[in-house]
Structure 1
Amino acid sequence: MPFIWLAYFFPLAALALGLAVSVLPVPFTGGLSFIETVLLIGTSFAAVHHAEGISSRIGQPFGTLILTLSVTVIEVSVLVAMMLNGENNPGVGREAVLSTVMFVCTGVVGACLLVGALRHREQEVRQQGVNGYLSVIIAISVLCLLLPQNTHAGLMGAVDPFQISFIMCGTVVLYGAFLFMQTVRHRADFMPEASEPAPARPRRLVVHIPLLLAALGGIVLVSSGVAAGVEELLDRLHLRDPDAVISAAVVAMLLLPETITAIRAARANDLQRSINTALGSALATIGLTMPAMVAISVWVDRPIYLGIEPEDRVQLLLVLVLSIVSFGTGRTNLLNGFVHLVLFAIYVMTLFVP
């Protein structure tokens, strides 16, 4: 493949620069932040490449699980760096989770359904597997983004640490239960028809595994510089809701490799793998990213906001209901893709004109 060497260069370069900035007294500059941002984007693609290499050798659904968990590690590291950068940014976590659900369930899913329908007219997915994704996504989205603001404490404008901790434990339990069903109890519901696990090839795994770990480590190390640079850039734009735009920009950047993977799978008439990748990333984010950020905020004694704005509530509930309808028959077509993409365009508009 052309430029395959970049999958080896970016992880090592990001890791080296991250270690250098951590050890040496390097002053923060716009140029350094730009370099770190380029390395982060390139390393994200490299991480997805190596995760896919592992995926192709260990088979589904474990391969998709590795891919989504890798992206979750990347997202948590960047968002935590943004939350802790300078003054506290307590709204970054909730905006990132909301952006991930909206981007995936409208933009990514819509693009996959549209591309797949244009090439194959109609496509099929295993309805039981998709229902599993959606049921947990709906439950966790409501618990994390809607419930905290509608409890007695939330209505009084306070945050009850016990309530939040209990809700976060519940989200982790739900995600763990889903993983058990996906990887052990009902694996067939998440696999394409007549799909067989690929045999392992130790020599290639020996290459992909350390480079994936190097990529994730490099991203963790350069994420603080990227967060500072993104916030400094967007602060100059005087946006009405900077936290929402910053979180959406980071989510869009980090979801780009998975988006490309999902669209390619849909175009190749493998909609099941496409949906596994798309919905898996959304579920991993709300099931793991939010609890991780809440735990870190408690650990460093910084506040974090969970409730979302009224217009965001309407859009979130709309896209969750639409997702149930779109996959309700197990068959998708062009109209499904158009509806999701229109909602995505409206969501992006409300980021800049809330």
Structure 2
Amino acid sequence: MISRTRALVTQWTIATPMAAVLLLAFTWGRSLPAGIVVLLTLVLAVSVLAAVHHAEVVAHRVGEPFGSLVLAVAVTVIEVALIVTLMIDGGDKSATLARDTVFAAVMITCNGVVGLSLLVGSLRHGTAVFNPEGTGAALATVATLATLSLVLPTFTTSARGPEFSTLQLTFAAVSSLILYGLFITTLTVRHRDYFLPITRQGEVITSEDHAHAPSARTALLSLGLLGMALIGVVGLAKGVSPTIESGVEAAGLHHAVVGVIIALLVLLPETIAALRTARRDRVQTSLNLALGSAMASIGLTIPAVALASVWLPGRLVLGLGATHMLLLALTVVVASLTVVPGRATPLQGGVHLVLFAAYLELAINP
């Protein structure tokens, strides 16, 4: 029994989250030398892989579409905590942090993750098939949330600059929670079959036959380790962010690049999980992950920063500039045309990836 326990602890998927949390406890809030930053980056990368593994274990136990929510919600909750923490410590630079992070999450998921998933699925299986009813509903919710929270502040006149007044911010926060709650209800209760993977004949896949589901005990262990891994990923990302900021400033890049890099690190577990499911011809699950993450990022972050703004002294700038609004509008149009047929070729994946590359290029060279 003792030997089995020791063997279990030595498995990297269990040892890595523990190591990440321990490193985080010893390095939090301290100035770190270059060697420690390199170590934290390596542990962060391995923690991402461990998070993906444990998320897949939990997802296999609870089944789809519930499994798609596990990683998306877990990452977003911790991402919100990271944003609020950085806003407290960031001074004037933190005024646009929530906006930049949320918009980066939308572009990464709706163009980067969606594009890669469609490309991998279609190259491996000829075409990528998914349910347009569920995917279209998710896309419509993302578009509405993004417009209400990130576009409208640019055009309102009650507050100076691209900001909401207190009443407008309250409305945006409550609307975000209501829409996200409606989506969760639709996804898990009323129209669950709209979000399940489908065959090439359009039949819903209700179960996986290739492996037995893990036990409840194994799933609970993986759920706890998933939380530890995600805490380690986000916390270590915050630990290496000063080094990233210094490198960005030394390179003469725009400060928003820091938010993009952090968002890429935080969303890496979902990206890897989406690509793995796309390779197994379960593109619907990949799209659930991508659009669910975008939705959770807006639907949970905006209410959280709205509440935090009550005691935070600085400004809260949410409105996007003209360039980013154009990218958002083009993303919504292209994604709508991608979703309608219910199947995609490598062309559609390539279009989304080009939009994602354009976003990165404009973040580096606005």
TM-score, shorter chain, exceeding 0.5: yes
Counterpart residue number, 2:219: 205
> Are 2:181 and 1:176 aligned?
yes
1:70-113 Cα offsets, whole Å, 9 max, x none, are 22134223333433334342112111111111122222211111
> Are 2:207 and 1:196 aligned?
yes
Cα distance change of structure 1 residues 156 and 77 upon mapping to structure 2, 3 Å threshold: closer
> Are 2:316 and 1:317 aligned?
no
Percent identity of paired positions between Structure 1 and Structure 2:
36
Which sits farther off after the overlay, 104-113 or 148-157? 148-157
- Distance in 2 of aligned mates of 1:302 and 1:156: 14
> Are 2:63 and 1:59 aligned?
yes
- Distance in 2 of aligned mates of 1:6 and 1:94: 36
Question: Is the 1:19–1:221 Cα contact (8 Å) retained in structure 2?
Answer: no
1:265-287 Cα offsets, whole Å, 9 max, x none, are 22221111111111111111111
Which of the numbers 308, 332, 341 marks the counterpart of 2:320?
308
Which of the numbers 12, 24, 29 marks the counterpart of 2:18?
12
Q: Which amino acid aligns with 1:11?
A: P
Counterpart residue number, 2:5: none
Cα distance change of structure 1 residues 28 and 316 upon mapping to structure 2, 3 Å threshold: same
In structure 2, the gaps of 5 or more residues are 1-9, 198-203
Question: Is the 1:74–1:254 Cα contact (8 Å) retained in structure 2?
Answer: no
Cα distance change of structure 1 residues 206 and 32 upon mapping to structure 2, 3 Å threshold: same
> Are 2:295 and 1:289 aligned?
no
- Distance in 2 of aligned mates of 1:86 and 1:235: 15
Counterpart residue number, 2:39: 35
> Are 2:113 and 1:111 aligned?
no
- Distance in 2 of aligned mates of 1:158 and 1:180: 31
> Are 2:78 and 1:78 aligned?
no
Counterpart residue number, 2:338: 326
**Which residues in structure 2 correspond to 1:246-257 (within 5 Å)?**
246-257=258-269
- Distance in 2 of aligned mates of 1:288 and 1:13: 28
Q: Which amino acid aligns with 2:244?
A: V
- Distance in 1 of aligned mates of 2:234 and 2:281: 35
Cα RMSD of the aligned pairs, angstroms, is 2.3
Counterpart residue number, 1:337: 349
Counterpart residue number, 2:73: 69
Question: Is the 1:77–1:220 Cα contact (8 Å) retained in structure 2?
Answer: no
Counterpart residue number, 1:90: 95
User: How many residue pairs get matched?
Assistant: 347
Cα distance change of structure 1 residues 200 and 9 upon mapping to structure 2, 3 Å threshold: closer
Cα deviation, residue 157, structure 1: 6.0
Which sits farther off after the overlay, 28-37 or 144-153? 28-37
Cα deviation, residue 220, structure 1: 5.5
Question: Is the 2:153–2:162 Cα contact (8 Å) retained in structure 1?
Answer: no
Q: Which amino acid aligns with 2:70?
A: I
- Distance in 2 of aligned mates of 1:13 and 1:299: 34
> Are 2:142 and 1:137 aligned?
yes
Say which SS state the counterpart of residue 298 (structure 1) adopts: coil
- Distance in 2 of aligned mates of 1:99 and 1:232: 20
Question: Is the 2:118–2:344 Cα contact (8 Å) retained in structure 1?
Answer: yes
Cα deviation, residue 158, structure 1: 5.7
- Distance in 1 of aligned mates of 2:63 and 2:214: 8
- Distance in 2 of aligned mates of 1:351 and 1:13: 33
- Distance in 2 of aligned mates of 1:230 and 1:87: 18
Cα distance change of structure 1 residues 52 and 19 upon mapping to structure 2, 3 Å threshold: same
Question: Is the 2:162–2:318 Cα contact (8 Å) retained in structure 1?
Answer: no
1:122-146 Cα offsets, whole Å, 9 max, x none, are 2321111101111110100001110
Question: Is the 1:125–1:330 Cα contact (8 Å) retained in structure 2?
Answer: yes
Question: Is the 1:81–1:227 Cα contact (8 Å) retained in structure 2?
Answer: no
Say which SS state the counterpart of residue 60 (structure 1) adopts: coil
Cα distance change of structure 1 residues 157 and 177 upon mapping to structure 2, 3 Å threshold: closer
**Which residues in structure 2 correspond to 1:222-261 (within 5 Å)?**
222-239=236-253, 241-243=254-256, 245-261=257-273
- Distance in 2 of aligned mates of 1:145 and 1:159: 10
**Which residues in structure 2 correspond to 1:149-168 (within 5 Å)?**
149-154=154-159, 159-168=164-173
Cα distance change of structure 1 residues 38 and 301 upon mapping to structure 2, 3 Å threshold: farther
- Distance in 1 of aligned mates of 2:140 and 2:233: 31
Cα distance change of structure 1 residues 119 and 217 upon mapping to structure 2, 3 Å threshold: closer
Cα distance change of structure 1 residues 86 and 141 upon mapping to structure 2, 3 Å threshold: closer
- Which 4+ residue blocks in structure 1 deviate beyond 6 angstroms? none
Say which SS state the counterpart of residue 315 (structure 2) adopts: coil
